[in-house]
């Protein structure tokens, strides 16, 4: 049974790496084509679309989703808040940052997760061997992508804030599910709870930002191409956020952070020719070794707890 879940985990990671690249490309094209720079509205729309789809799946009997529970909502409140603001920062990076600063900082997510794992005192922490491998992967990935930057201070602050929130979301989500009785809450129930919480957080943030009228007024709502792009961007974004949640709850926060890092490094094929060969090989080689450890059971996962 564990072998099946481990191979399923690797399949999800592979699909995420390949598919999320397309999702990011569509998001950039949509925002640049229509100059639709409203990150809070886009994040709020993504959450609402996800909530609608989950409710339809439950109504049609295609997914067993428990009704929203205040107790569960309170337990996942911190991950929901981190999820909400991280989604806004992801869209903000596409809307306003025209450099690789945001993506470059994201290479440090595995190290940030290791720090949160230690700081939060998470149960079933990864071994020192895994910590060393994850650190090597993250550091060499960051060094390969490092470059001279000329961004303003706001870009640096938001990039570091995104790193903090993203890693905290992954680790707190894993810690919350580990302290619960195993088998009592499914992945879909957890994600549904996070989406409901996030819809309240993002809805309040959108109203407080006072630009909701501009977001609605500047949309080409009578254009099928605009609507198609918008639905594709929000739908794909929601799907891959669910896959991250699934990876945390079936794998671990460290595994999810490596998955996100692998997506950032998907252009390493070109990097083999533009960067020094040793630096280009170390990070992907470490990822392959980590995947091998997942298959052979040398990496402790949530499903093994």
Answer yes or no: is 158 within a domain.
yes
- CA–CA separation, 291 vs 245, rounded Å? 18
Domain tally, the chain = 1
Instruction: Supply the pLDDT for residue 272.
Output: 45
- pTM summary value: 0.89
* Segments forming the whole domain that contains residue 180: 2-299
Tell me the pLDDT of the chain averaged across its residues: 83
Instruction: Supply the pLDDT for residue 98.
Output: 55
Q: How confident is the model at residue 1 (pLDDT cuts 50, 70, 90)?
A: very low
Answer yes or no: is 246 within a domain.
yes
Q: What pLDDT, in 10s, does the model give residues 66-98? A: 999 999 999 999 999 999 999 999 999 888 765
Could you tell me which of 246, 261, 205 has the C-alpha nearest to residue 5? Answer: 246
User: Is the pLDDT score of 270 beyond 50?
Assistant: no
Q: What pLDDT, in 10s, does the model give residues 13-49? A: 889 988 888 888 899 899 888 888 899 999 999 999 9
Answer yes or no: is 304 within a domain.
no
User: Is the pLDDT score of 218 beyond 90?
Assistant: no
Which runs of E-coded beta strand occur in 155-295?
none
For 65-79, 86-100, 102-116, 239-253, which range has the lowest pLDDT when averaged over its residues?
86-100
Answer yes or no: is 50 within a domain.
yes
Answer yes or no: is 305 within a domain.
no
């Amino acid at each position: 049974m564990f072998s099946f879940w481990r191979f399923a985990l690797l399949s999800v990671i592979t699909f995420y790496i390949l598919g999320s690249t397309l999702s990011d490309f569509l998001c950039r094209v949509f925002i640049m084509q229509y100059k639709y720079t409203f990150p809070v509205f886009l994040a709020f729309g993504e959450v609402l679309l996800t909530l609608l789809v989950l409710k339809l799946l439950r109504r049609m009997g295609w997914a067993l989703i428990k009704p929203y529970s205040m107790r569960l909502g309170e337990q996942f409140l911190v991950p929901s808040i981190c999820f909400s603001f991280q989604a806004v920062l992801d869209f903000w990076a596409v809307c306003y940052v025209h450099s690789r600063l945001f993506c470059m900082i994201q290479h440090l997510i595995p190290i940030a997760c290791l720090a949160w794992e230690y700081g939060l005192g998470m149960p079933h922490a990864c071994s020192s061997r895994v910590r060393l491998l994850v650190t090597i992967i993250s550091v060499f990935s960051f060094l390969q992508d490092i470059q001279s930057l000329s961004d303003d201070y706001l870009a640096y602050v938001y990039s570091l804030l995104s790193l903090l929130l993203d890693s905290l979301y992954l680790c707190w989500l894993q810690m919350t599910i580990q302290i619960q009785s195993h088998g009592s809450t499914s992945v879909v129930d957890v994600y549904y709870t996070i989406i409901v919480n996030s819809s309240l957080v993002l809805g309040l943030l959108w109203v407080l930002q006072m630009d909701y009228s501009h977001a609605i007024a500047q949309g080409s709502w009578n254009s099928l191409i605009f609507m198609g792009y918008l639905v594709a961007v929000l739908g794909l974004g929601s799907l891959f956020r669910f896959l991250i949640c699934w990876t945390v709850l079936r794998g671990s926060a460290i595994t999810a952070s490596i998955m996100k890092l692998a997506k950032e490094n998907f252009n390493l094929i070109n990097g083999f020719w533009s960067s020094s060969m040793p630096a280009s090989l170390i990070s992907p080689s470490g990822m392959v070794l980590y995947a091998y450890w997942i298959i052979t059971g040398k990496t402790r996962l949530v499903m093994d707890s």
